[in-house]
Structure 1
Amino acid sequence: MIKVLDRLLLFLYTLIIGIGVVFFLVASFGWLPIESAENFVSNLYYEGSTAYPAIAIGLFVLLATCRFFYVSVRRGRGQVPSIDQRTDVGDIRISLETVENLSLKAAGRVRGVKDLKARVSVNDAGLDIVLRAVVDGESSIPELSEEMQRSVKSHIEDITGIPVANVSVFIANVMQSSHTFKSRVE
């Protein structure tokens, strides 16, 4: 929606600037009689019917200029956070979302892990990966956690070539057994 409004604003802005430039060129070449220009300027000073639309157009152009200036200097929201690497052949950019998905894939291979979420951040030492998991409760939680850490660290480093500084595991819950026994009525 904002992009549509910005495009409409840009259209109106260029239309007004274009008309102003044509008027300026016509006056500069002397194709506009001086009396007409003097009458127009006099009407701007003394006639509200001429001054108010000119003020409205001027404020619109000023606001549009401020909006376009803001859009040009703000940091791009469309830019996805990524890890940049330089190689002999060129640059490589890997999004943090890709690393999160690779982490989920590696941790999901560990038997006993049911529900996973990952969050990745970058620091000077490498990647910090935080895993949130729900386990089945049938396996040792410390062993499961260590296996997830090893699996994620080796998988990320093998696939991306980026060093992993830390893999933290948070066990959020234990899944309840889905085996329910029905009572038998005779």
Structure 2
Amino acid sequence: MGPFDRGILAIYTFTLTLLFLALAAYLAGWPEPVQELWQEMQLPGQEEITWALLGVYVLMGVRLLWSGFKGERKKQAIVHEGNLGQVRVSLPAVESLSEKVVSAVQGVKEVRARVEAVPQGIAVNLRIVTTPDINIPRVAEDMQRQVKESIYDIVGISVHEVRVTVESFFARKPRVE
């Protein structure tokens, strides 16, 4: 949740707290102050302001609900401590490196990588589109080995697991002219 959403949440929570305090006062037997406030809001010429505030608060509620349910991917980084300080490598950078390594493999037409941090290092999930004329188990094993070695050589972190999923086969026939 960003600073904008936190500000909306603070205003929304403060206002709802005041509203529920007024409701509690009304239910506790102090109806005069609440009724006076309600009558003040119903004066002619202030209905537009009341409707506008109501609309703003509904929009704020929808925004907070959406913000709460959207899947926000944490921007993680791999950290190495060296003699001169920290070195951070973002997970999207490792994803990009994995895609570059796999795209160089013969028979792979498309690749999407997803990297996640695990206690033993990182796990790499590869989704590939390949030609149908290759040996999938052999090529997948080569990909796994190459990705693991490249990440360790370049980034310096051990790869715990490399999962390969073949999503489809690329079988476009050449055009005859």
Q: TM-score range by the shorter chain?
A: 0.5 to 0.7
Which residue of 93, 98, 119 maps to 1:98?
A: 93
Task: Specify every segment of 5 or more residues in structure 2 that has no aligned partner in the other structure, as ranges.
Answer: 8-39, 41-71
Aligned to 1:57: none
- SS state of the match for residue 97, structure 2? helix
- SS state of the match for residue 151, structure 2? helix
Distance 1:142 1:165, change over 3 A: same
Shift of 1:177: 2.6
Question: 1:164 aligned to 2:159?
Answer: yes
Deviation readout 1:7-34 (Å, 9 max, x if unpaired): xxxxxxxxxxxxxxxxxxxxxxxxxxxx
Q: Tell me how large the CA RMSD over aligned residues is.
A: 3.7
Question: 1:173 aligned to 2:171?
Answer: no
Query: Between Structure 1 and Structure 2, whose CA radius of gyration is higher?
Result: 1
Shift of 1:139: 1.1
Structure 2 CA distance for aligned equivalents of residues 181 and 100 of structure 1: 38
Instruction: Determine what percentage of the aligned residue pairs are the same residue.
Output: 34
Aligned to 1:122: 117
Distance 1:78 1:151, change over 3 A: closer
The TM-score, its normalising length taken from structure 2, stands at 0.58
- SS state of the match for residue 111, structure 1? coil
Structure 2 CA distance for aligned equivalents of residues 86 and 110 of structure 1: 33
Aligned to 2:132: 137
Task: Specify every segment of 5 or more residues in structure 1 that has no aligned partner in the other structure, as ranges.
Answer: 7-47, 49-76
Q: Following superposition, which runs of at least 4 residues in structure 1 exceed 3 angstroms of deviation?
A: none
Distance 1:85 1:113, change over 3 A: same
- SS state of the match for residue 178, structure 1? coil
Shift of 1:159: 0.2
- SS state of the match for residue 144, structure 2? helix
Shift of 1:85: 1.7
Deviation readout 1:54-110 (Å, 9 max, x if unpaired): xxxxxxxxxxxxxxxxxxxxxxx8973211221121011110000000000111110
Shift of 1:180: 4.0
Aligned residues: 125
